[in-house]
């Protein structure tokens, strides 16, 4: 990886996916997937639409139950101990779900309480400042926020609930270069502090720049998994496009 430096704390699995399969009728969306995300690691999932990335994330989150295999989050099985597993997770989808008529501060306070974490006013403000939400926006309604600002509140919620793992689905889609860079720096900082981050993305540049490991999907399988320091951006693009062509979606 180009900018994270020496990896630390990568000997403690937080997310463990073992031989997981998920079918929808006759369609096998995920086919015997194995992957791990350790504390302090960013793991990026690449692949064409329909390759199985989002299904994998939904299984990790407990929204779907695997038909075969096992998923653990911080040692908790996502099927048999779903509440415990979910308590360790924070989910940031492409469009972060917030209450539009509440302020960023009010959203953070309410969502933190829902997760069982009551924070003082100073703590809430400090968390929003930590994710670099502009001071003038903290007490402004979320319906005035850009997508990048909403994502920052989503990250703040993850911090407030002490989530050990962050699940990101297309986090940089629709962001301008400046906002994409800010988001990149933020998740790198969180990883450096021990968070495990699993993200599905189409952004090859951000995957190569940010992730410790990149797994490429095709037709429900991981067809290649490699450390990002071992592949440059051009090689990654060529590998990705090859997999798209083989999936007949490009």
pLDDT (0 to 100) of residue 7: 43
pLDDT (0 to 100) of residue 244: 64
pLDDT (0 to 100) of residue 49: 86
The whole-model pTM stands at 0.86
Residues of the chain with pLDDT under 70: 1-12, 230-234, 243-250
**Cα–Cα nearest to 175, from 195, 194, 202, 157:** 202
Q: Cα 185 vs. chain centroid, distance in angstroms?
A: 14
Q: Per-domain residue ranges for the chain?
A: 1-88+164-250, 97-162
Instruction: Quote the CA–CA distance of 49 and 59 in Å, as a whole number.
Output: 17
Q: Find where tokens 């990568």 sit.
A: 10
- What would the two tokens of residue 131 be? 């994710």
pLDDT (0 to 100) of residue 2: 43
> CA of 248: how far to CAs of 51, 160, 223, in Å?
11, 43, 15
Integer-rounded Cα Rg, in Å, for the chain is 18
| Long-range contacts, stretch 121-126, CB < 8 angstroms, 24+ apart | 123/160, 124/160
CATH topology classification for 1-88+164-250: Rossmann fold (3.40.50)
pLDDT (0 to 100) of residue 134: 92
């Amino acid at each position: 990886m180009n900018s994270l430096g020496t990896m630390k704390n990568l000997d403690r699995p937080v997310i463990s996916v073992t031989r997981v399969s998920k079918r929808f009728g006759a369609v096998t969306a995920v086919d015997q997937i194995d992957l791990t995300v350790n504390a302090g690691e960013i793991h990026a999932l690449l692949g064409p639409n329909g390759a199985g990335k989002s299904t994998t994330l939904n299984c990790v989150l407990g929204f779907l139950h695997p038909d075969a295999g096992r998923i653990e989050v911080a040692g908790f099985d996502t099927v048999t101990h779903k509440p415990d597993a979910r308590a360790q997770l924070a989910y940031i989808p492409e469009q972060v779900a917030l209450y539009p008529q509440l302020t960023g501060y009010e959203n953070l306070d309410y969502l933190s309480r829902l997760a069982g974490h009551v924070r003082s006013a100073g703590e809430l403000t400090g968390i929003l400042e930590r994710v670099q939400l502009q001071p003038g926006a903290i007490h402004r309604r979320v319906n005035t926020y850009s997508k990048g600002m909403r994502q920052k509140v989503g990250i703040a919620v993850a911090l407030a609930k002490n989530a050990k793992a962050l699940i990101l689905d297309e986090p940089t889609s629709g962001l301008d270069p400046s906002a994409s860079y800010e988001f990149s720096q933020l998740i790198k900082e969180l990883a450096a502090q021990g968070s495990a981050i699993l993200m599905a993305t189409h952004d090859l540049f951000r995957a190569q720049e940010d992730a410790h490991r990149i797994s490429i999907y095709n037709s429900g399988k991981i067809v290649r998994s490699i450390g990002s320091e071992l592949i440059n951006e051009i090689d990654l693009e060529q590998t990705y496009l090859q997999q798209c062509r083989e999936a007949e979606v490009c």
